[in-house]
Amino acid sequence: MEYGDEVALERARGGDRDAFRVLVERHSIAVFRLAYRMTLNETDAEDMVQETFLRAWREIRRFDGRASFGTWLHRICANRTVDFLRSKKRWQAAGAGSADETDAGYDPFRNLPAQTPSPEREALSSETRARLVPALEGLSDIERTAFVMRHYEGLSIEEVAKALGVQAGAARHSVFRAVRKLRAALGTDREGAEV
């Protein structure tokens, strides 16, 4: 039986696991995209998706409907992922690191679906990826999260603010700082250039 988020939410609040499963199926790809773009690692992103939906299930009765269910999930995912990235940095600073990430051939975009671009487009994309990954890693966790939500997920500044639990001005400023840093890192610092 097919029903909207509102009905699924009501049923899930009543403990209906099948209704919650509908919500998971409906929103898991968007949550994965956000987590992947924040972590730049497929395994970590999958872990963040699981943690996001586990937290959502435990706290579904507290969802108040002021934002959409998708925005609420984005907020949970963003917060869990920022916490994860901070703890990972502390762990790596202590001398440990992921073999995948320290390998010279590491490409966090390797598992994204390809659409068989032209050789010229492929060369340009490869060059851009090689420059974009370190540039994204140079952003703070909050800047990267705000940038990804705004420019990759297409959320409005107000939705980014709600997802991050900050005022709209703070979200706008985080996106602005991220864009400015990315433009500088990618050499597109001219006025009006798109990142």
Asked whether the beta carbons of 186 and 132 are under 8 A apart, the reply is: yes
pLDDT in tens, 25-75: 999 999 999 998 888 888 999 999 999 999 999 999 888 888 889 889 998
The total domain count for the chain is 2
Domain of residue 67, CATH code: 1.10.1740.10
Domain of residue 185, CATH code: 1.10.10.10
Q: How far is CA 53 from CA 14, 18, 28, 109, in A?
A: 16, 14, 8, 24
Mean pLDDT score of the chain, rounded to an integer? 79
Examine the domain organization and report whether 81 and 124 are in the same domain. no
- pLDDT computed for residue 45 by the predictor: 92
Host domain of residue 90 = 1-94
Q: Which of 85, 88, 73 is nearest to 32 (CA)?
A: 73
Angle ∠(78,71,50) on CA atoms, nearest 5: 50
